Amino acid sequence: MKEELADLLRQALQSLADSESLSLPETVDIQLERGRGSGHGDYASNLAMRLARPAGKPPRELATALVERLPVHPHVDRAEVAGPGFINFFITRDAANAVIERIHREGNAFGRCQHGAGERVIIEFVSANPTGPLHVGHGRGAAFGGALGNVLEAAGYDVHREYYVNDAGRQIHILAVSVLIRYLGHRGEAIEFPANGYRGDYIHTIARDLEAEAGERYRITASELTDGLPADAHAGGDKERYIDALTDRARTLLGATRYREIVDASVEAIRHDIEEDLAAFGVRYDRWFSERSLVEAGAVERALQRLESGGTLYEKDGAQWFRSTDYGDDKDRVVRRADGQTTYFASDIAYHLDKFERGFGRAVDVFGADHHGYMARVRASLAAFDHDTDRLEFRLVQFAILYRGHERLSMSTRSGEFVTLRELREEVGNDAARFFYVMRRPEQHLDFDLELAKSQSSDNPVYYIQYAHARVCSVLRQMAERGIDHDLDTGLGAIDRLTEDHEQTLLQTLGRYPEVIEGAAISHEPHQIAQYLRDLAGGFHTYYNAHTFLVDDAALRDARLALVRAIRQVIRNGLDLLGVSAPERM
RNA sequence: GCCCCGAUAGCUCAGCCGGAUAGAGCGAUCGCCUCCUAAGCGAUAGGUCGCAGGUUCGAAUCCUGCUCGGGGCACCA
């Protein structure tokens, strides 16, 4: 509809320009927005005000001239000049009513569009290190990324969802040695736990699984493992130096094969746990991309060589640096440490290069706000490869702060004392968790109140929306119980019986849905859908209280049922994009 | 010190690619179930859009500076 109106304005403008020989800008961006409030029509354009200056005429005069030249259109009832020079369009009742028919015809597909035109887009999200279970902070990235993927898909993109698994590097060694020490502990080897090790219960679990699988295969003695190592933090030493020495010793004692087995078992156990957790949360991936696979395939070395031959690497203090400051970064970055190890950033360069070379037209990285420092350096690396960095977009998601009523919950990850995503899901349920995570703009810090998320009242927006859906279902059940037949075609034929204000408002709200989806996709803001659904549900509840649907007048009844069934369909479609269920009874 | 994000009603937040009286929920006050689920609805009260400049016919929205809050600035991941 917007396009049609824009087209009418374009024609009117052309006609005006021809007859008045106005000097107008080459390209005119014609904006239309939904009229808000009463009396402003269904759509409004500020075209005349924007052209007033270049045309050298008062906006209202221009607006009047444009309105006079507007071609007749079957869906446009009339257009008026208002305020400082707005052109307000009033669409015909038939055009407004047509949305009901369209919703029923398109069903689950209503709201989808071809904005993306099938462009391939890769979206990477969560990508938490496989060194422990997901916590509530990761949950927001998961819910946001999952919803964004759905929204982009609905807007016509070919979406590929990916989780980048950091299964190479130092943290993985620390994980493995943490498991090893628990394993040895269970076998009676008393070894003080490293200050820098991973302490959670899940480490014990992995160690026990390892025992069940391999018995004594990894048995070494405490003294073999720790004699002669530098002091750990509790003994006044440096925890980083200690743990590195410890992992080196473990690898030497066990040999490459057995050591690798422990690494693999540990990483795989956690990765699997994360995958299961996310799947239960309704978040699925097309691929789990292993960092180690990049390293082992030589992709990291190749990427560095390409940078080297491009002259953007240099040596300093025994390390190899990428001159990212040439491409807008704050400081240069190490890609290979003095000990020869490539850095995490080096892998990241290779990974993003790989994304671009797999032929995605667009890449979206969803990061936690604490990773904002990566944007400049990753962009810099792509620029160094001569890639169009505009094709990579970062979405930073701010933290979620948990509350229980007014009490702020500690988010400390120290000593394994944190709320896991799984615990959250079990406490408040997947629906409330998914909805709460995405109902705010991603840039906003999120106050996540557990009590509110669990409350079954109008305070809780999830239930409020779901309840609207359930209520429609309930009406239809009532109808069946009373032996009333409902004929959709009759209803569609009688839509013009829906003359109540509430009904007109709802028709207008329903008509907005496709615009909301497109807007959410363009701006990468799933929360717009959450806001919209609240609106729609609110309109429905008001309507429900004001009017009875199951009236004796069969035509009116059928029309109302066609309307509320359309509402149900749209709520279902919207909730589905957010990963929230639409229950039939509550 | 530098970088990113935020600041709108008592609380939590929409609105922010400039536009016509700044919206919603909660909380407060007063109402609505012999009637399709009251997990609901209606009404009232409540705002210097952090502060100061600037751009503009027009600024909550764009620009600059400042204040306050969160986060980030490693040969960590």
Joined together, the tokens standing for residue A564 give 């509320």
Q: Are residues A86 and A174 in the same domain?
A: no
- Per the CB < 8 A criterion, the answer to whether A445 and A414 are in contact is no
CA-to-CA separations, A537 to A251, A292, A440, A453, A564, in angstroms, rounded: 60, 48, 18, 18, 11
What is the CA A155 to C1' B45 distance in angstroms?
Answer: 43
Asked whether residue A454 is assigned to any structural domain, the reply reads no
- Per the CB < 8 A criterion, the answer to whether A540 and A505 are in contact is no
> What is the side-by-side strand order in the sheet with A313-316?
A313-316, A319-322, A333-336
- State the pLDDT at residue A17: 79
Report the nearest residue to nucleotide B72, CA vs C1': A370
Asked whether residue A46 is assigned to any structural domain, the reply reads yes
> What ipTM describes this predicted complex?
0.95
- Bases of chain B below 7 A from a protein C-beta are 2-7, 12-17, 19-21, 23-27, 35-42, 57, 69-77
What is the CA A398 to C1' B70 distance in angstroms?
Answer: 9
Asked whether residue A130 is assigned to any structural domain, the reply reads no
Report the nearest residue to nucleotide B75, CA vs C1': A337
What is the CA A441 to C1' B47 distance in angstroms?
Answer: 22
Asked whether residue A54 is assigned to any structural domain, the reply reads yes
- Per the CB < 8 A criterion, the answer to whether A532 and A512 are in contact is yes
Asked whether residue A497 is assigned to any structural domain, the reply reads yes
Pairing of strands A333-336, A319-322: antiparallel
Q: What is the CATH number of the domain that holds A26?
A: 3.30.1360.70
The single-letter DSSP state of residue A457 is S
Report the nearest residue to nucleotide B40, CA vs C1': A541
Closest CA to A550 of A490, A495, A493, A482: A482
What is the CA A252 to C1' B48 distance in angstroms?
Answer: 70
- State the pLDDT at residue A512: 93
From the alpha carbon of A545, which nucleotide's C1' atom is closest?
B41
Phi first, then psi, for residue A232 (nearest 5°) are -85, 175
Asked whether residue A318 is assigned to any structural domain, the reply reads no
Q: Are residues A568 and A465 in the same domain?
A: yes
The residues near A261 (Cβ < 8 Å, ≥ 6 apart) are: A214, A217, A218
From the alpha carbon of A345, which nucleotide's C1' atom is closest?
B77
Asked whether residue A390 is assigned to any structural domain, the reply reads no
Question: pLDDT tens, position by position, for chain A (586 residues)?
Answer: 788 888 888 888 888 878 776 666 666 778 888 876 557 888 888 888 888 877 778 888 888 988 999 999 999 999 988 888 889 999 898 888 999 999 999 999 999 999 999 999 999 999 999 999 998 889 999 999 999 999 999 999 999 999 999 999 889 999 999 999 999 999 999 999 999 899 889 999 999 999 999 999 999 999 999 999 999 988 888 888 899 999 999 999 999 999 999 999 999 999 999 999 999 999 999 999 999 999 999 999 999 999 999 999 999 999 999 999 999 898 999 999 998 989 999 999 999 999 999 999 999 999 998 888 899 999 999 999 999 998 999 999 998 888 887 777 765 444 445 688 999 999 999 999 999 999 999 988 888 888 888 887 767 899 999 999 999 999 999 999 999 989 999 999 999 999 999 999 999 999 999 999 999 999 999 999 999 999 999 999 999 999 999 999 999 999 999 999 999 999 999 999 999 999 999 8
CA dist., res. A371 & res. A126, Å (int) = 12
Q: What is the CATH number of the domain that holds A517?
A: 1.10.730.10
What is the CA A82 to C1' B49 distance in angstroms?
Answer: 26
| Domain end among A218, A247, A267 | A267
| Domain end among A211, A232, A267 | A267
| Domain end among A49, A71, A91 | A91
Q: Are residues A468 and A570 in the same domain?
A: yes
- Per the CB < 8 A criterion, the answer to whether A121 and A157 are in contact is yes
Joined together, the tokens standing for residue A562 give 């066609």
What is the CA A34 to C1' B9 distance in angstroms?
Answer: 25
For residue A97, count other CB atoms closer than 10 A to its CB.
Answer: 22
- Per the CB < 8 A criterion, the answer to whether A182 and A210 are in contact is no
CA dist., res. A145 & res. A220, Å (int) = 44
0.90 exceeded by pTM: yes
From the alpha carbon of A585, which nucleotide's C1' atom is closest?
B37
Q: What is the tally of structural domains in chain A?
A: 3
* Bridge partners, A448 (sequence order): A402
Report the nearest residue to nucleotide B7, CA vs C1': A444
What is the CA A195 to C1' B74 distance in angstroms?
Answer: 19
- State the pLDDT at residue A413: 45
Q: Are residues A79 and A180 in the same domain?
A: no
CA-to-CA separations, A54 to A113, A157, A545, A555, in angstroms, rounded: 35, 38, 51, 54
Pairing of strands A76-82, A86-91: antiparallel
The residues near A264 (Cβ < 8 Å, ≥ 6 apart) are: none
Q: What angle do CA A124, A127, A131 make, to 5 degrees?
A: 170
- State the pLDDT at residue A328: 87
User: What sign for the dihedral angle of Cα A415, A258, A127, A381?
Assistant: positive
Asked whether residue A344 is assigned to any structural domain, the reply reads no
Tens digits of residue pLDDT in A468-485: 999 999 999 999 999 998
CA-to-CA separations, A526 to A122, A149, A392, A452, A490, in angstroms, rounded: 17, 10, 19, 21, 36
- Per the CB < 8 A criterion, the answer to whether A200 and A133 are in contact is yes
Domain that holds residue A260: 170-267
